[in-house]
A and B are shown apart, each in its own frame.
Chain A
């Protein structure tokens, strides 16, 4: 196979079209390490010597129709560029994906849309507005045999055949190399507002998140930051944050109702609520979804997904079990996500017995970053891998040591 010199710069294959991508994968004779901008390479990386292949040059917004709530783009499209384009049309991605590059010491704004999809990275709205899996309408990709495959489409509802969009989401490039993604977009609302709640103890803060989620007042995000994490956002005490959005009269009504509800549910006169509107609200969530309160040089960073009702218990037990490790924690996704950073490393075995739900290591030296699966699940996942990539070309051992 002959390749133009530009495509091989620095030993990285850089296709500029879906056809070139297909030909490159088809011509491969050994393992390929698939990347967008490589912003999350430090999270998990191919364990075998591999030929790097980047879709970072396949950057294009093919169409964006706000009235149909849909955008189609090339895999290498920078998340930042996509968000700028959507905002110009009065839209956004409802799942509000984070750019985790800075967490891994990379510059901001490098993260690509294919990277967000391949890692299934949702922002703070996950528990209320879904994640990439819920908003990916269509994909085109090249499987490990160099075949171009499509699934889904550009319309909101589509049950034509098996939903391969779900398999591509979160598969870390091990099943196929994305050549095009089509996503559902959401209109920007007239007003977004965060209620910042203080004056509560930790259990009360987490109960506040649950009370909001159980209410009819439609929060889009809810998080709890203990005092040390809250300090990085400029708060001098622990806070919980609940975001709502919509037409202005509706937001006014719901923020009053939510405040009244929390006063009744938590029955404490110490409770105080401050309101942050529009850009002020957006800035808070930008920091929370990007894990800014924990950015630094932690030896370990874990992403734990407990039941919301167990988050308070989990955080208390983490503190007591790892009191000597320099711990910092906070909860997002209404309590369904707990970020755990430590100055001294924590490995997976040490989390044993805690109600962590699904535990994924984002930074650290545990050799298995992702949560282990049951024997039957492992068998089926290996079978799916073979169905897409029988020769094991794509991102070997990036998702699991088994393939």
Chain B
């Protein structure tokens, strides 16, 4: 189990006083949650094995609300954890008992849409899908599309630099932002970026994106929106081996074709998803690629013809083009419901998020299989094959004694493999608490000290989401070295 720093007893003792003060800072007293089930909702996030009931939850409606709350907490030495929808799979939004959760869910307005300049200004609590929905009627969209896009907020996407299935062509969150409004821990409001790309001075927009809510609280986001392609269509290609599927991906990209998405599934993932979604996946294949191309019908057909020709070099078991919108939808439903499908065949699963050089896929899959066998877990693999982001899903039972510790150990072994072959420990989920210690697989203390000095520029008292990202052994959030089980 992953430990957390011991809560500050002096802050816990002031709970009632702090709640009263915060209530006074909000226009509507109901926007402060101080007890009961309503508070317990905020005890965990997508990493639900870990739970800590916070001191209070404030639900601001404006940037000014956020500034008042942060200013108060700063002056009173109270820790703060900003939270979008709490979908983090890495424990990025896990509170601590001595912290106030700043929930952005009421800041859910699309403020301005500017098609000529291809951007939209939104409040940070808008869900990812609602940005695209707001511009859909005018045939625009917001490109990053994490699997949790129905629920996750833009604020959370900025904090974690979220990706998605379509980032092979469109990039991740950091490549699709133009500006931010941020409130610093001391309550001061900072505006970063604008419709003008590449301001002078240091790239604070790039620094904030992916900083896991540790440098400031994002309240407004200026996002890039893009015209939708005329159409898009996925195809399924089944292979006799993972090696053949991997080699096919390499040749597609090597031939100068960059599809909008290339998703890979191994046999256990194919079987689970097909049983769940009935998407028509080839259950006789050892590996499956979902390849999506876009453009006009003519352009789609031209690309599909080239991809089929290339796939033909790798002895495919099956090639299936989506022949209707329903089939296309079913193909993606199968992929996007992969996590749900795992829930059908196992009580629990741990979703890993390493990235590897794409050429190392066969080697890595074989080593992951060995890890699974060594620990006695079944592992299914889902992979954003174009960009190397691998999601091994380790199936386990949280109620079986000791299994959480074993599954976490297996997960760390997989991350070691990813780093050994030249990859990284997290491609899009973030470090949070889950991979805090695994940071030492990639970085030495000098590297991490450099990062922590940046944190101190923005939050010298280390109050904002401090128990994340940096291993507790070197993390100022853990000054006393006393820890509790989260």
Specify which chain B residues have a CB less than 8 angstroms from the CB of A218 in the assembled complex. Answer: 229, 295
> In the complex, what residue of chain A is closest to B159 when comparing beta carbons?
A159
Task: Verify B388–A157 contact, CB threshold 8 A.
Answer: yes
CA distance A384 to B450 in the complex (A): 10
> In the complex, what residue of chain A is closest to B387 when comparing beta carbons?
A156
Q: Judge if A216 is at the interface, Cβ distance under 8 Å.
A: yes
A150-B447, A159-B427, A161-B448 known; A358 and B198 CB under 8 Å? yes
Task: Verify A309–B457 contact, CB threshold 8 A.
Answer: no
Q: Judge if B303 is at the interface, Cβ distance under 8 Å.
A: yes
Task: Verify B456–A387 contact, CB threshold 8 A.
Answer: yes
Task: Verify B253–A187 contact, CB threshold 8 A.
Answer: yes
Type the 1/0 row for B303-325, where 1 means its CB is closer than 8 Å to any CB of A: 10010000000000000000000
Most buried by A among B190, B201, B298, B447: B201
> In the complex, what residue of chain A is closest to B231 when comparing beta carbons?
A216
* Stretch of A4-12, A127-135, A196-204, A319-327 at the chain-chain interface: A127-135
Task: Verify B299–A186 contact, CB threshold 8 A.
Answer: no
Interface residue count on the B side (C-beta < 8 Å): 92
Q: Judge if B251 is at the interface, Cβ distance under 8 Å.
A: yes
Q: Judge if B483 is at the interface, Cβ distance under 8 Å.
A: no
Specify which chain A residues have a CB less than 8 angstroms from the CB of B192 in the assembled complex. Answer: 377
Question: What is the minimal beta-carbon distance from A112 to any residue of chain B, in angstroms?
Answer: 20
A163-B161, A387-B454 known; A155 and B207 CB under 8 Å? no
In the complex, chain A residues 130-186 whose Cβ is within 8 Å of any chain B Cβ: 130-131, 133-134, 143, 147-151, 153-167, 169-171, 175, 186
Q: Judge if A380 is at the interface, Cβ distance under 8 Å.
A: yes
Task: Verify B423–A213 contact, CB threshold 8 A.
Answer: no
Task: Verify A358–B200 contact, CB threshold 8 A.
Answer: yes
Task: Verify A161–B451 contact, CB threshold 8 A.
Answer: yes
Task: Verify B202–A160 contact, CB threshold 8 A.
Answer: no
Specify which chain A residues have a CB less than 8 angstroms from the CB of B456 in the assembled complex. Answer: 387
Task: Verify B201–A373 contact, CB threshold 8 A.
Answer: yes
A130-B175, A157-B428, A158-B355 known; A360 and B200 CB under 8 Å? yes
Q: Judge if B70 is at the interface, Cβ distance under 8 Å.
A: no
Specify which chain A residues have a CB less than 8 angstroms from the CB of B386 in the assembled complex. Answer: 156
> In the complex, what residue of chain B is closest to A132 when comparing beta carbons?
B198
> In the complex, what residue of chain A is closest to B430 when comparing beta carbons?
A159
Specify which chain B residues have a CB less than 8 angstroms from the CB of A131 in the assembled complex. Answer: 197-198
Which of the residues A153, A159, A213 comes within 8 Å of B428, measured between beta carbons?
A159
Which of the residues A150, A151, A157, A380 comes within 8 Å of B458, measured between beta carbons?
A380
Task: Verify A213–B118 contact, CB threshold 8 A.
Answer: yes
Task: Verify B450–A164 contact, CB threshold 8 A.
Answer: yes
CA distance A241 to B206 in the complex (A): 30
Interface residues of B (CB under 8 A from A): 114-118, 139, 160-161, 163, 167-168, 171-172, 174-175, 188, 190-192, 194-207, 209-211, 227-230, 249-251, 253-258, 295-296, 298-299, 302-303, 306, 355-359, 384, 386-389, 422-431, 435, 439, 442-443, 446-448, 450-451, 453-458, 469
- Top-6 shortest CB links A-B: A166-B206, A357-B196, A383-B457, A187-B256, A156-B387, A157-B427
Q: Can you list 16 residue pairs at the A/B interface with Cβ under 8 Å? A: A90-B254, A157-B172, A158-B424, A161-B442, A162-B211, A166-B174, A166-B206, A167-B454, A169-B203, A190-B256, A213-B118, A214-B116, A218-B295, A246-B299, A358-B196, A380-B190
